[in-house]
Every structure is written in structure tokens, then in C-alpha cells.
Amino acid sequence: MAAIALIVHPDRPHAAELARETADWLQAAGHEVRLTQQDAVAAGLSSLGRADPDILAGLDLAVSLGGDGTMLRVVDLVAAAEVPVMGVNLGQLAYLSEVEAEGVRVALERFLVGDHAIERRMLVAAQIECATGTLPSSLAIGLNEVVLEKTESGHTVRLEVEINGNFFTPYTADGLIVATPTGSTAYALSARGPIVEPTHRALLLTPVSPHMLFDRTLVLEPDAIVRLTVAGGRPANLSIDGRVLGELQVGDAISCTASEHSAKFVVFGRRDFHGILKAKFKLGDR
């Protein structure tokens, strides 16, 4: 029997209802169902709540019930353990979710008998080097991007960039994004970065509203080490996949490269990324 975690969008009643229905069906079939303690309370399944470290032990599958934001939350929870993730779309057209709400049971049945494939996505790792002590020195990983950006509206931030130990250039900008191919359709896209097939491996360094002539994205090899140091007289906010980690002061730095771990997405056949782009951007056929 399988151990399956359900991760639920906190503000969508349909997600909580679907979690209850899915949990009942899985338990009736003899499977173990787990939720985070917060999700268990929100879904009315308090008895199934687990602390985050406990939820991963022997876990076979994590199911995201929500949109892309919920998928990012699931990947953050399970990526280091490389637990497969199945995305169920309960929002707008999603880039990351494989299954629509009405297809959850069929998708789970197919997963449980092995009728699926695993699509690996590159993760970005950020080593925080905080000499000032405002943040603990630690390693964090993300599916989409690492961002250093200004802390106040109307101001820029100055960030010095090294690539593979060699000084590249200082940027004066609203911020810098170090994105994965999956993240090329997230924040980096709004900063006019390129769209990259999500199964590629590369790091994308994209400036946000740079106050300089050089405003292009750099597409780097995945094993490149991109070091960003806060310079000038202003701090910078650090966030990963939209999660704000805190503020870096002048002299603090982060080093970004490909993570040793991968996100493992459950897929049923080849995913039509170009079709998703056409629908998302309302591109017409001839």
C-alpha cells in the first residue's frame, strides 16, 4: 500500500472538498493519507495531519490540489527527498499541473499501478553567505527562481556578479533573477527573459529594470556558479519561488548553481509545453 500526501490550496473550498473525497477513497483502498497539520485543519481532516519532517518518511507521492503556487509549495516540501509530485489544477491554466480536478481518481489509479512516467526538472540551489548575521548561512532550493531585489519603492539596488569565480559586472537595477528553465515562464518572463523548454538544464540570469545599457538575460550552463553580492549603500530582499527569506545587508552574498536534487513530476504521456504556451498567451492558429 502507498503513502500519499495531499497538499491543499488554503483559500479554495473546492480544494478542501476534493482532499476529503480523495482521502476517503484512498483510505478505503488501504492506502495511507497524510496532510500537513495546517492543511489537515483547513480540510477538516485533522486526524491525518503530520509535522513536516514526519510527512516525508516513506512517502510515495505528493499530490498538489491547487494552482502553480501550491505546486511550488509542494516542491519546496519534498524536493530534497525527491518524492514524485502530481499536480492537480484547480485554478487558471497552469504551467505545472498535469491533471484536472475531475481526473484525480483515474490519475491516482494509473500512478498506483505504475502507468506513468517521471519528468525531472532542474532545481536551483542558493547558498546564503550572510556575514552580517541578519540571515543564517544556509542552503535553500527552488523550482523557479532565486531573486535579490530592492527593499523600497523608488530605489534601486547595486549587486555585484561573479560567474565561476570571475568578476563579471555590477548591476544597478530593481533586482536580479537567477532562474531555472521551469522558472523562465515565471518572474523572469515578466522581466523580458527568454522562454526555455522546462526540461532543459541551464541557469538564466535576468536583470529587473536595470539602470544600464546592458539589459540582456545570460543563459549559463547549469553547473555555473553565480555569486551575487549586495554592494552600494542599500540592502536587498532575498526570495526563492516567492517565499521571502529576509534581507541581505551590504557585503552579504548568495551563490547559485544547479541543485544536486531534481523535482520529479508525474506525467501521463508527453507534456505539450508549446500547447500550454499557445493557450496561455492566446496565440492563434493559421
Active site (catalytic) residues: 68
- Cβ 220 vs Cβ 226: under 8 Å: yes
Q: Which amino acid is at 26?
A: L
In sequence order, which ranges of 235-286 are alpha helices (DSSP H)?
A: 273-280
**CA dist., res. 282 & res. 208, Å (int):** 25
β strands within the chain, DSSP E: 3-8, 32-36, 49-50, 61-66, 85-89, 99-100, 117-129, 139-142, 145-149, 157-163, 166-173, 175-179, 203-208, 218-220, 226-231, 236-240, 243-248, 253-267
Q: Which amino acid is at 251?
A: G
- The number of beta carbons lying within 10 Å of the beta carbon of residue 113 is 8
CA angle 187, 233, 171 (to 5 degrees): 45
Long-range contacts of 249-252 (CB under 8 A, 24+ apart): 249/130, 249/132, 249/134, 250/132, 251/131, 251/132, 252/128, 252/129, 252/130, 252/131, 252/132, 252/134, 252/135
Q: Closest Cα to residue 77, out of 50, 115, 104, 99?
A: 50
**CA dist., res. 129 & res. 218, Å (int):** 23
Q: What is the total residue count of the chain?
A: 286
